[in-house]
Structure 1
């Protein structure tokens, strides 16, 4: 069965901006090629505008997905388990909203169930959704935590992201190999330093 791929929404969520056509997007890429001093008509670049637009559909596919739909159902048969669930080292790729340059990193997500648990792969999918949008690392950290709190309703949430921003390593200061850490805590984790320390120890941070 052929997979059904959702189209980008005609208007981004919460915006009055109408999306241009594919032809207009390809023309914009061609304009950028000319702007950097390239010849879009040379052999190696003739199909580049089409390839870039197709790649953007994948790289920014997070705009076609709703977190609530992906998280879906939760499970209540947990045999009385009520301790921390931690999924670490979830690799993600994103793009910074300031320069549209890649951000490469890992997410660590922990939550304290309140009688209900979530399929582990769905946490990774949630990270992927928010990663495939233009982002700041700070906003992405908060978005993951808020989506989980709203859907799973756990007693507590901890989300920690560590990433390398290529806007720092490829341009500007060109500081290669540096990592940025962001973290947020919700629910009982927010005011419990011991629980926060426990999460950091589990992550080896």
Structure 2
């Protein structure tokens, strides 16, 4: 990967011998490895058995989970927040695990639509919940820095599973609580 970054830098007309660029291919490769670490993580390892018995059957929401991802079309960042909710059926997942699940899928080359679904499916798999709702709001650098260059545009995606999909009251409760 380091060699690939060196080739990219020289391809744009830069001099790798310049002081500011001498270690850039190595730093860029290390950064890319970090930004895509989700490929090397597994859901089971992230959750690490942090499931706890609970008689709660009301909605659990974790709001405003910041996320950073790379669009798979241009490899430019998109940055936003995820709101994740589920209705437990006998067990709840550790609070930090919800954020770690978001990070695991965000730290891959992505499109926001798929990211939203992958998070929802993972929460459903882990918790066996009665329902899961995920909403992601993000700004995409591929739309802001290039192309149409719209600085204030943001994208919102949602995925509703189980009760969140089939029960309008549940869906509306979730959506009103994340506003």
Q: TM-score, normalised by structure 1?
A: 0.85
Matched, 1:66 2:42: yes
- 1:45-194 to structure 2, matched below 5 A, reads 45-73=21-49, 74-76=51-53, 78=54, 80-194=55-169
User: How far apart are residue 52 of structure 1 and its match?
Assistant: 0.6
Report the Cα distance in structure 2 between the residues aligned to 1:122 and 1:192, rounded to whole angstroms: 26
Q: How many residues align?
A: 178
Return structure 1 stretches of 4+ with deviation > 2 angstroms. none
**Which range moved further: 81-90 or 40-49?**
40-49
Task: Quote the RMSD (CA, aligned, Å).
Answer: 0.9
Report the Cα distance in structure 1 between the residues aligned to 2:137 and 2:10, rounded to whole angstroms: 36
Structure 1 unaligned blocks of 5 or more: 1-24
Select the structure with the greater relative contact order (CA < 8 A; seq sep ≥ 6). 2
Structure 2 unaligned blocks of 5 or more: none
Structure with greater helix percent:
2
